[in-house]
Structure 1
């Protein structure tokens, strides 16, 4: 960031703080909270202000009933800014708010602002495109995370629909992981401290989401006695997806290590899924047909019914892709 942009940004932040303190307290405005949000999302591109961020998080914990002042102040800040620095800091602040684990934040439904079309106005197109893409991807993840967190998972169901809901839950977390793996710096000029701080947050979140996927898959495998044949096929598709994502995750970690992201220093170790659970799932599927299940689109898939595992790989046979059952499983240790 150039000297003029630094000075201009500092002046804007100072004026915003003055206006916040002159506004007075109301049902949707809190000068102390607004000041902390402005300082936490300042135009200073050197670092994220954790002290002021903690002030915001402390307010959330002490005032969990109403998020109106937080929503109003942060939304106003985000929707007015055309600075990639302020936008990324705002997303990091929102990310930290989710980690406060307060029900009011978890149940907000969607983010109170929209950065899906964000564009920085202080850099030229050749310099800004990487930052713009990063902000849009980071926003897409947080917005999807907010939606998933707000869904009520405590609905009363009968035994026959329990497994379907568990499988649906896994698919949602796998979809969120797909979105997370899109959040990464794509331009050389993005090797700056603030981006690396944001990526540290992303790496921690990826670990958490991938662990949730593994946990939910384990729940499915523990309840195979109630699974239907169609649900078993869905479960097998989920396991195939887990294999693909494990490969993408390894590639993502390698990319982040090369970029200098500290939390990507070591990829979590793999673990084995109980073989008897895989065999039980295969026996359920084998009850459908002794022949291969051939499908034509992504919603359907082909599986060979013989072998010792439910994980799928692809091999090229005479110019065509063939589905092959393997005995591989990748997941995180429970530590």
Structure 2
């Protein structure tokens, strides 16, 4: 059954390539899209993705960029294969991350006509996959991934810049440190933009995998995880800026700022638990148990104490040690909040 499904997918791909060669006005672009999002269970090939990048470059007519978005969106809407759906979303994601900034602008305008990532009811019923995820489980992750990309586009629409493209240049020795975008915003801008970034972080955390998945899903997840650091840092920088302005705010703005700060704490815990906490908590718990284990006195020490008891003498080592020599061992943090402070993830 699996071999028949693969053969049928390959036949559909070759048919679409043949039709593109004959009927398409954008022959090269259509062929690149079909080959980049074919039914083969592997990430899109780099040479096909690069052709798509070239088709949406700033030097190309805006009509070409619009056609590329339309072709990818149509490919996503018509497919019933989770492989094709994920590969199409990966192409969208990579062009958003690595392509020309004009593509983001064109995509933002295109999205006003409707939802580009039309996968709300997507489901692949083709069957199990080599003992890993079933096709319907992969379909659920396709929908989650699409929601993240939709939120990413909405975030770009609301804050007017792309988080991934906000690169802070390194300051030369002796020069003042260059601030990131959130560190330069006004109070009103921060109160509007930080909740948008927090919602993006929530969608990002929802992309976590509860059990091992195939390589294609892991590849897509790696793109998401790469962006988690930028999103977290943008939220962190914005909240630090917000805290500096807190006592100068009107009361209603201060209430909004407190809600944002509380939500930031919850989102940070979600992010840490998703990508860091399971391993670290286990390691720290083991260290804590080791530090709490009582040490058994040696035989020589026991004999010495018995002799001292018989003679009624007090030796120096039974007296209280001076405060300067006593050392308290701080156990590793047990709670999630303490662990965040221990790791330096909070300010």
Q: TM-score, normalised by structure 2?
A: 0.65
Partner of 1:182: 206
Partner of 1:278: none
Number of aligned positions between the proteins: 257
Partner of 1:16: 16
- Specify the SS of the correspondent of 1:145: helix
Alignment partner of 1:133 out of 110, 135, 140: 140
Residues in 1 aligned to 2:92 and 2:190: alpha-carbon distance in whole angstroms: 28
Partner of 1:292: none
Structure 1's 152 and 209: CA in aligned 2 closer, same or farther, altered over 3 A?
Answer: closer
Structure 1's 257 and 122: CA in aligned 2 closer, same or farther, altered over 3 A?
Answer: farther
Structure 1's 106 and 208: CA in aligned 2 closer, same or farther, altered over 3 A?
Answer: farther
1:141–1:180 Cα contact (<8 Å) kept: yes
User: Going by fraction, where is helix more abundant, 1 or 2?
Assistant: 2
Q: TM-score, normalised by structure 1?
A: 0.68
Structure 1's 140 and 256: CA in aligned 2 closer, same or farther, altered over 3 A?
Answer: farther
1:134–1:184 Cα contact (<8 Å) kept: no
Choose 1 or 2 for highest CA Rg: 2
Alignment partner of 1:214 out of 236, 243, 251: 236
Structure 1's 120 and 255: CA in aligned 2 closer, same or farther, altered over 3 A?
Answer: farther
Residues in 2 aligned to 1:314 and 1:44: alpha-carbon distance in whole angstroms: 41
Once the two structures are superposed, what CA deviation does each residue of 1:278-299 show, in whole Å capped at 9, x if it has no partner? xxxxxxxxxxxxxxxxxxxxxx
- Specify the SS of the correspondent of 2:62: coil
1:120–1:132 Cα contact (<8 Å) kept: yes
Alignment partner of 1:151 out of 158, 166, 172: 158
Partner of 2:271: 249
Residues in 1 aligned to 2:11 and 2:277: alpha-carbon distance in whole angstroms: 37
| Offset of residue 107 of structure 1 | 5.2
Partner of 2:111: none
Once the two structures are superposed, what CA deviation does each residue of 1:16-63 show, in whole Å capped at 9, x if it has no partner? 1111111231xxxx1111111111111000333222112112221242
1:167–1:235 Cα contact (<8 Å) kept: yes
> Is 1:94 matched up with 2:118?
no
> Is 1:63 matched up with 2:87?
no
Structure 1's 45 and 314: CA in aligned 2 closer, same or farther, altered over 3 A?
Answer: closer
Residues in 2 aligned to 1:147 and 1:206: alpha-carbon distance in whole angstroms: 16
Residues in 2 aligned to 1:255 and 1:116: alpha-carbon distance in whole angstroms: 31
User: Going by fraction, where is strand more abundant, 1 or 2?
Assistant: 1
2:80–2:123 Cα contact (<8 Å) kept: yes
Structure 1's 134 and 165: CA in aligned 2 closer, same or farther, altered over 3 A?
Answer: same
Once the two structures are superposed, what CA deviation does each residue of 1:255-299 show, in whole Å capped at 9, x if it has no partner? 8989xxxxxxxxxxxxxxxxxxxxxxxxxxxxxxxxxxxxxxxxx
Partner of 2:5: 5
Structure 1's 257 and 23: CA in aligned 2 closer, same or farther, altered over 3 A?
Answer: farther
> Is 1:228 matched up with 2:228?
no
- Specify the SS of the correspondent of 1:82: coil
